[in-house]
Structure 1
């Protein structure tokens, strides 16, 4: 983060993290609170270590981090996660087709576990299939690794449709309340007729007319492998977005020793700052760093049922027909599968 970017963040959250100086003691300056928070997010160091580095009390460091993360969430959420509009969805779909060769795509979606120290008196609520305690981060990303939707805080044990279907995104898509554009023909081809705009996800997500998932199984026909490759090519956008996020904010690779409510604000603040700092010229460097370290956030499994409605199967069939047509084919797809 450059000095100018830090000053800009400080101008947005400074009033929320300023405390009154009294005759008993001088308050901590807002700039120092922000610096401590960014150090915590960027390194994942313990509050004790940060207290020694900044010559502050441990409780002061903890309070500063939680206060600043909540201020970032309050003051920057609306600007970095604007309310979706029909024009915004169309722009995202255009970029997905130009960069990732998937038509009518609203974004790539996935969920990840963020590990915590076992919360007190929580039983098995936060205990996940990896054998750790965690909260769930569910996110939707556009073609340039920018998050467009965010939900943090589901229990680590949640599965079988509880994460996605219970999310604000899942409910709003089902109720058609997100200003998604009307069905339109695929780029360069009207042979398949009007096609709905869809999100792309892995096998953990349900098959819907607005949600495409890959064909299951290993011994599948070539045309199904073709569809899976094209979908995977678009879906990797969210994996790359998570890679950039966790490479920049190393706290996501640590076992956070904070309460779940505070962990929610820490993860949300990291995602907001990810959007704020996103720079296309630096994306490759962050991705290479993530690959070198070999660290990935654990995936969430079984977010929905495997069976879809007849209309969803029909949309998927028309998509793989398009991918094998002259208008939708890419020159390297046969080689890749």
Structure 2
């Protein structure tokens, strides 16, 4: 068969995989689904009221014709961005694919359909609830965790920057990183399973988007049937918080939520036995 015939077969297959599997394997979470996700994160990472981890992955592509520097990213290669929110089982729950490589994760998230609804408080998140074993505490919102590249919001927590750290904030950063590591591992599993992500995709950006979306929904399909495999997480590597620049001032409400979480993870009742040794 000719190259164009093979290309059309792959394109059509990716489109069908997405259209058929997305409603089943990557359906928009319901309120009940968010609660199940939060339970999974707490059991696995001991981070309370966490309903997802968010980050962006640069999918390498060849330089599109007449695109200038739109797809050229800070890592010095051409890419489109896969922005994703995952659960504690390394499944993608929300994805946004196709932004220019030059765009920041924060701007991509703010301009995505999910991000717009989150910052407008229009997502079907569960109602605020007291944190686990904090019965006399103040009810807190359910949150997604991300790195410093994202804007702080009452529903999105990021770590404190390095310049303002004390021991309590270092412990909070560590506890948050335990939950955030899930999205790093999800990307690692995706790339190791579908090795096209280990090299440049030799296709136009719109075709690369279809390939990426198909791979993400197949990733979920396989994860839910193969179950947990310890080898999947062996090569997961956390990024240094200081590698990414933070964004501007956050609303006072969001800062208050983060400070409450700081006090919670540092309290005697809710601390981890090893957390002080880790930051020492």
1:284 to 230, 234, 239: 230
Inter-partner Cα distance in structure 1 for 2:266 and 2:244? 30
Partner SS state of residue 5, structure 2: helix
Instruction: Specify whether residues 107 and 161 from structure 1 end up closer, same or farther in structure 2 by C-alpha distance, changes over 3 A only.
Output: closer
Unaligned stretches of 5+ in structure 1? 1-55
Aligned to 1:24: none
Aligned to 1:333: 275
Cα deviation for residue 262 of structure 1 reads 0.4
Instruction: Check the 8 A contact 1:160/1:305 in 2, yes or no.
Output: no
Inter-partner Cα distance in structure 1 for 2:251 and 2:120? 16
Inter-partner Cα distance in structure 1 for 2:185 and 2:248? 25
Inter-partner Cα distance in structure 1 for 2:27 and 2:266? 36
Moved more, 91-100 or 304-313: 304-313
> Number of aligned pairs?
274
Q: Deviations over 1:258-308 (max 9, x none)?
A: 0100000000000000000005645322233x46xx9x9xxx956x72321
Aligned to 2:200: 255
Inter-partner Cα distance in structure 2 for 1:70 and 1:160? 26
Superposition pairs of residues 1-337 of structure 1, within 5 angstroms: 56-159=1-104, 161-217=106-162, 220-278=165-223, 279=225, 281-288=227-234, 290=235, 305-337=247-279
Inter-partner Cα distance in structure 1 for 2:228 and 2:264? 34
Instruction: Check the 8 A contact 1:165/1:171 in 2, yes or no.
Output: yes
Aligned to 1:18: none
Cα deviation for residue 123 of structure 1 reads 1.4
Instruction: Specify whether residues 154 and 301 from structure 1 end up closer, same or farther in structure 2 by C-alpha distance, changes over 3 A only.
Output: farther
Instruction: Check the 8 A contact 1:186/1:194 in 2, yes or no.
Output: yes
Inter-partner Cα distance in structure 1 for 2:103 and 2:68? 14
Instruction: Check the 8 A contact 1:192/1:322 in 2, yes or no.
Output: no
Instruction: Specify whether residues 264 and 160 from structure 1 end up closer, same or farther in structure 2 by C-alpha distance, changes over 3 A only.
Output: closer
TM-score (norm 1): 0.77
**Structure with greater Cα Rg:** 1
Instruction: Check the 8 A contact 2:128/2:141 in 1, yes or no.
Output: yes
Inter-partner Cα distance in structure 2 for 1:79 and 1:281? 17
Cα deviation for residue 185 of structure 1 reads 0.4
Partner SS state of residue 201, structure 2: coil
Q: CA RMSD in A?
A: 1.9
Unaligned stretches of 5+ in structure 2? none
TM-score (norm 2): 0.92
Inter-partner Cα distance in structure 2 for 1:160 and 1:109? 10
Over 4 Å off, 4+ runs? 279-282
Inter-partner Cα distance in structure 1 for 2:53 and 2:256? 20
Inter-partner Cα distance in structure 2 for 1:114 and 1:108? 19
Instruction: Check the 8 A contact 1:109/1:235 in 2, yes or no.
Output: yes
